[in-house]
Amino acid sequence: MLKANKMKLWSKNNTNADEDITSQKAVESFTVGNDREMDIQLAPFDVLGNIAHAKMLASIGLLTNQEAIDIVSELKNIYGSIQHSDFIISPDVEDIHSQIELLLTQKLGDTGKKIHSARSRNDQVLVDIKLYLRHAIEELVVEINIFFKLLLQQSNKYQHHLLPGYTHLQIAMPSSFGLWFGAYAESLVDDVTVLQSAYTVVNKNPLGSAAGYGSSFPINRTMTTEFLGFASLNYNVVYAQMGRGKAERITAQAMANVADTLARLSMDMCLYLNQNFDFISFPASLTTGSSIMPHKKNPDVFELIRSHCNRIKALPNEITMMTTNLPSGYHRDLQLLKEHLFPAFSTLKDCLQMASLMLSNITIKEDILQNEKYKYLFTVEAVNELVLKGIPFRDAYKTVGQQVEDGTFSYNLKQGLHHTHEGSIGNLCNNQINDSMQHVVAGFGFDKVNNAIEQLLE
């Protein structure tokens, strides 16, 4: 049977004695689902929201100064237990919000019960998720920046290692590994730019919107905004609730861009390791073998990165479909978003770390373009040389094209390649790409947020 003291913020203790307990348990199991497991990740952020809320309640007289001091002190103790990983949500407690309020009540009695004044579980969830997403985006940007720096390092190291460039998977023009590594580095700059936009959406305070229609108490939402380091408010309380699902979708869209960059890089690596390309190799410890073919060195890490990232690319559509046709106001559908979004952060960070491990240990083959099969990579070089001699481009194009048809085309690679414009083989512009990334990262304002949280916990 259900315990009589089952902790629910919405419980009114008026259970009908004739109620079908079996049905009630089935409904409870279905509606709670995996929420408690997801809520553990929200624990530190729920505490932060509670601290800010308690301080604000004291400022408007809904808590005495001593009550606020006692509540905040106990919340900091709870925060410490969370940081030391010995915090749990009890089996008879529904969610993280109930667990923390229960702990306060057990320790402080009636004072602990006052923490829920002037708010709803709806805006508790909202502020927890905003704080979680803000923190998770920061951690993700840190991992991206580490990988970005590795890409630029390898780009500089291998800037003179030539590589066939392809269009339509057909041999096209000369490229280099310096150009290849740098391309993915600059791709991440754009990806982080979009993440910054998602961060801007996330970094707005919904606390005080209550159930979505505000409160008759004279709460100070600007105060809690400053306590929690938010850049601004979600001003309209109805929109604050409508923003749930939207913030998650926008964040997922930003993550999908990073995933797309990693998936494409991984596909290149799978091709380049293939014996028919044979451009690169990795230590045997980073590849896998076959149970039947002794020669195999399979790029399983990149194949799994590709698959994980393709799944993350589907995440925005999953969230869109889960929130389709929802009217304004809160709906329980939104609970399921955590199960899809939260694990994606860990997966994407794992993929970045594994890609870093692989590319830190890559071996690049030298003199790849000396192979006869790549001679047509240089047809454009030959055309351009004729143009520099005064021959009109269209005539030069026809001349070289005829040499290809006749089988008489040749190009001496020892002549070198003369690509000097910005972003070309001979002018990678890696310093400019690095400056672009650091400018974007600085624009998040992580220090301001972290300083506010440190002050809140002092």
In DSSP notation, 336-347 reads GHHHHHHHHHHH
Looking at the fold, whether 445 and 336 belong to one and the same domain comes out as yes
Looking at the fold, whether 79 and 52 belong to one and the same domain comes out as yes
Residue 287 belongs to a domain with what CATH number? 1.20.200.10
Looking at the fold, whether 91 and 127 belong to one and the same domain comes out as no
In eight-state DSSP terms, residue 282 is -
The answer for 117, left when phi > 0, alpha when psi is -120 to 50, beta otherwise, is: beta
Q: Computed from CA positions of residues 232, 233, 235, 239, in that sequence, does the dihedral angle turn out positive or negative?
A: positive
Looking at the fold, whether 189 and 286 belong to one and the same domain comes out as yes
First to last CA, the chain: 43
CA neighbor of 393 nearest in space, from 382, 402, 403, 404: 382
Looking at the fold, whether 207 and 244 belong to one and the same domain comes out as yes
Q: Provide the pLDDT for residue 31.
A: 60
Instruction: Please list, in sequence order, all residues whose beta carbon lies within 8 angstroms of the beta carbon of residue 371, skipping any fewer than 6 positions away.
Output: none
Looking at the fold, whether 322 and 383 belong to one and the same domain comes out as no
Q: Name beta bridge partners: 176.
A: 162
What is 34-84 written as a DSSP string? THHHHHGGGHHHHHHHHHHHHHHHHHTTSS-HHHHHHHHHHHHHHHHHHHT
Exposure string of 335-361, with b = 16+ CB inside 10 Å and e = fewer, is bbbbeebbebbebbbebbebbbebbee
Looking at the fold, whether 77 and 144 belong to one and the same domain comes out as no
In a domain, 221, yes or no: no
The CA distance from 275 to 298, in Å, is: 11
In a domain, 263, yes or no: yes
pLDDT in tens, 156-213: 999 999 999 999 999 999 999 999 999 999 999 999 999 999 999 999 999 999 999 9
In a domain, 230, yes or no: no
Q: What are the phi and psi torsion angles at 424 (to 5°)?
A: -100, 180
Max distance between CA atoms of the chain, in angstroms, equals 99
Q: Provide the pLDDT for residue 137.
A: 98
Exposure string of 206-228, with b = 16+ CB inside 10 Å and e = fewer, is bbbbbebebbeeebebebbbbbb
In a domain, 224, yes or no: no
Q: Provide the pLDDT for residue 37.
A: 76
Q: Which of 96, 116, 136 is the last residue of a domain?
A: 116
Torsion angle, alpha carbons of 222, 47, 198, 223, to 10: 10
The CA distance from 436 to 439, in Å, is: 5
In a domain, 11, yes or no: no
The domain total for the chain is 3
Looking at the fold, whether 158 and 258 belong to one and the same domain comes out as yes
Residue 108 belongs to a domain with what CATH number? 1.10.275.10
Looking at the fold, whether 166 and 70 belong to one and the same domain comes out as no
Low-confidence ranges of the chain (pLDDT < 50): 1-5
pLDDT in tens, 239-256: 999 998 999 999 999 999
Looking at the fold, whether 175 and 316 belong to one and the same domain comes out as yes
In a domain, 89, yes or no: yes
In a domain, 232, yes or no: no
| Three-class secondary structure of residue 118 per DSSP | coil
The structure tokens 């667990």 sit at 99
Exposure string of 21-49, with b = 16+ CB inside 10 Å and e = fewer, is eeeeeeeeeeeeeebbebbebbbbbbbbb
Looking at the fold, whether 195 and 334 belong to one and the same domain comes out as yes
Q: 134 is in which domain, residue-wise? A: 121-212+238-369+426-457
Looking at the fold, whether 377 and 362 belong to one and the same domain comes out as no
